[in-house]
Chains A and B, each alone.
Chain A
Amino acid sequence: MSADAVQEKIKELEERLAKVEGNRSNMTMVLFSGDFDKAMAAFIIANGALAMGKEVTIFVTFWGLDVLKKPTMTGAGKNVLEKMVTMMRPKGPSKLPTSKMNFAGIGPKLFHYMMGKKNVTSLQNLVDTAVEFGVRIVACQMSMDVMGIRKEDLMDGIEFGGVAAFLGSAFDSNTTLFI
Chain B
Amino acid sequence: MATTKLDLKGMSCPMPIMKMAAAVKKGTSGDVFEAVCDDAGFEPDVLAWCKETGNKLDNLTKSGKDITVVITKK
Binding site for B on A (CB under 8 A): 44, 47-48, 50-53, 118-121, 126, 129, 133
Contacts and interface: CB of A to CB of B under 8 A. Distances in A.
Contacts of B53: 52-53
A48 B12 contact: no
Interface in B8-56: 10-15, 17-18, 20-22, 48-49, 52-53
A52 B52 contact: yes
Given A44-B14, A48-B13, A119-B12, 11 more contacts: A44-B13, A48-B17, A50-B21, A51-B17, A51-B21, A52-B17, A52-B52, A118-B12, A119-B15, A121-B14, A129-B18
Contact of A52 (B13, B15, B21, B22): B21
Given A118-B12, A120-B12, A53 B18 contact: no
Interface of B: 10-15, 17-18, 20-22, 48-49, 52-53
Contacts of B21: 50-53
Contacts of A129: 18
A45 to B, nearest CB: 8
Nearest to B54: A53
B12 A50 contact: no
19 contacts: A44-B13, A44-B14, A47-B18, A48-B17, A50-B21, A51-B14, A51-B17, A51-B21, A51-B49, A52-B53, A53-B52, A53-B53, A119-B10, A120-B12, A120-B13, A121-B11, A121-B12, A126-B14, A133-B22
